[in-house]
């Protein structure tokens, strides 16, 4: 894809602005008085310029934990840069539809998107590996892969083909298996099931005999209430309670095989990202890491309380998929991931890198984490407030 530099964009607008996607009101003017040439944004002293950016999200306005996290991230960037970088956040549909956020940023019509990368699997199937892989890496394990397993470099390479710089910004933590209007007691119960589920999880449902449907968050409740879908996954108790799914579905399944955590990305238009100074990029990356960790803590805390509310106040019935069903889902998930990993050369490298980290965490987890979790459950006295 041909990349449009800020120099070219600047020539098309007034000297006081930079780019259609990143409107930069700079003082002094970005024109070098000695040569008459237009300066890049990065060449202007940071304390003498300001940049106004547009962030498009895949979330409804003020949606708890996701829409609100995007706004908080944008606010923190402004505070950390003393107002030099101002980010205006647009909820889904305010500027572009939720599932068009990636295109808006890639093409320079917006500067940043906030959403999970599995929504962009139509661009390349390996975007799923940076969003969620069924029975794959958890939220903390994703950071291990990206930071110490070569994952970030591969993500940069894949997204760079679309003029995007990606970074983790939000994590939902372990998700739920979804809302169903019938119980799942056997593999056969997936036959003909129409379920809202994106990404590789949707392909698993398809191979199990169901029909996956991709809907943005704001479309799910109506579709489920009207019977256009039989089931939906979304996130977890906190967000599910906010959407009121308990009003239109009878059974709430745990065991989120399809999405151990949604890795939500702040994807920057690459021209915009490259126009920033080294200091600004370090600040933004540090804030993204902060919000990733904080969002994971928030989801874990809110989900626990919301689940109690769903059960005690709304009579929600929780269920677990039977072990033979989970085994079948796991086998199909392994096949799906392997098939996607054979798509092309970069797919093979991403798949190999991801699975190497998954092997590491499974081996270490079996020695350390799993015995600890089992031991902690032996006594009910732990966890009781005095």
Per-residue pLDDT of the chain (386 residues; tens, 9 = 90+): 444 443 333 333 333 333 333 333 333 333 343 434 334 555 566 566 799 999 999 999 999 999 999 999 999 999 999 999 999 999 999 999 999 999 999 999 999 999 999 999 999 999 999 999 999 999 999 999 999 999 999 999 999 999 999 999 999 999 999 999 999 999 999 999 999 999 999 999 999 999 999 888 889 999 999 999 999 999 999 999 999 999 999 999 997 899 999 999 999 999 999 999 999 999 999 999 999 999 999 999 999 999 999 999 999 999 999 999 999 999 999 999 999 999 999 999 999 999 999 999 999 999 999 999 999 889 887 766 65
Q: How many helices (H) and strands (E) does the chain have?
A: 13, 13
The sheet carrying 194-196 orders its strands as 211-213, 194-196, 231-232, 178-180, 251-253, 317-319
Q: Under a CB-based contact definition with an 8 Å cutoff, are residues 139 and 173 in contact? A: yes
Predicted pLDDT at 42: 52
Instruction: Name the DSSP letter for residue 162.
Output: T
Q: What are phi and psi of 216, to 5 degrees?
A: -75, 165
| Placement of tokens 């392909």 in the chain | 203
pLDDT tens for residues 98-109?
Answer: 999 999 999 999
pLDDT at 165: 98
- Facing residues of 267 across strands? 113
Length of the chain: 386
Rounded to two decimals, what is the model's pTM?
Answer: 0.85
Closest to 211 measured CA to CA, from 199, 202, 220 = 202
Q: What are the C-alpha distances in Å from 296 to residues 50, 195, 302?
A: 31, 26, 10
Residue 291: what pLDDT?
98
Q: Which domains does the chain have, with CATH numbers?
A: 17-173+262-299 (3.40.190.170), 178-261+317-355 (3.40.190.10)
Q: Which residue has the tokens 């939902």?
A: 172
From 54, 53, 59, 55, select the one nearest 98 (Cα to Cα). 59
């Amino acid at each position: 894809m041909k990349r449009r530099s800020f120099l070219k964009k600047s020539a098309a607008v007034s000297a006081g602005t930079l780019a259609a996607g990143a409107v930069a009101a700079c003082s002094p003017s970005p024109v070098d008085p000695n040569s008459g040439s237009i300066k890049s944004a990065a060449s202007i002293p940071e304390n003498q310029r300001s940049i106004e950016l547009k962030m498009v999200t895949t979330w409804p306005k003020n949606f708890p934990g996701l829409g609100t996290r995007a706004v908080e991230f944008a606010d923190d960037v402004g505070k950390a840069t003393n107002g030099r970088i101002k980010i205006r956040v647009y909820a889904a549909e305010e500027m572009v539809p939720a599932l068009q956020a990636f295109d808006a940023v890639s093409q320079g019509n917006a500067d940043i998107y906030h959403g999970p990368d599995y929504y962009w699997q139509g661009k390349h199937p390996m975007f799923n590996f940076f969003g969620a892989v069924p029975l794959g890496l958890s939220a903390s394990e994703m950071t291990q892969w990206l930071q110490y397993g070569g994952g970030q470099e591969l993500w940069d390479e894949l997204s760079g083909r679309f003029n995007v710089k990606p970074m983790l910004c939000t994590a939902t933590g372990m998700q739920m298996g979804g809302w169903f209007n019938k119980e799942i007691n056997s593999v056969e119960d997936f036959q003909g099931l129409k379920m809202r589920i994106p990404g590789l999880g949707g392909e698993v449902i398809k191979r199990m005999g169901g029909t996956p449907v991709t809907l943005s968050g704001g479309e799910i409740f109506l579709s489920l209430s009207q019977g256009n879908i039989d089931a939906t996954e979304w996130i977890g108790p906190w967000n599910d309670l906010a959407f009121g799914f308990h009003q239109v579905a009878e059974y709430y399944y745990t065991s989120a095989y399809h999405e151990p955590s949604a890795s939500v990305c702040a994807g920057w238009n690459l021209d915009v990202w490259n126009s920033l100074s080294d200091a600004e990029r370090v600040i933004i990356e540090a804030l993204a890491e902060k919000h990733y960790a904080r969002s994971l803590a928030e989801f874990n805390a809110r989900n626990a309380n919301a689940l109690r509310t769903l059960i005690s106040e709304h009579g929600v019935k929780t269920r677990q998929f039977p072990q033979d069903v989970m085994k079948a889902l796991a086998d199909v998930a392994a096949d799906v991931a392997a098939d996607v990993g054979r798509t092309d050369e970069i797919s093979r490298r991403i798949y190999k890198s991801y699975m190497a980290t998954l092997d590491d965490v499974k081996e270490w987890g079996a020695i350390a984490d799993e015995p600890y979790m089992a031991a902690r459950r032996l006594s009910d006295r732990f966890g009781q407030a005095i």
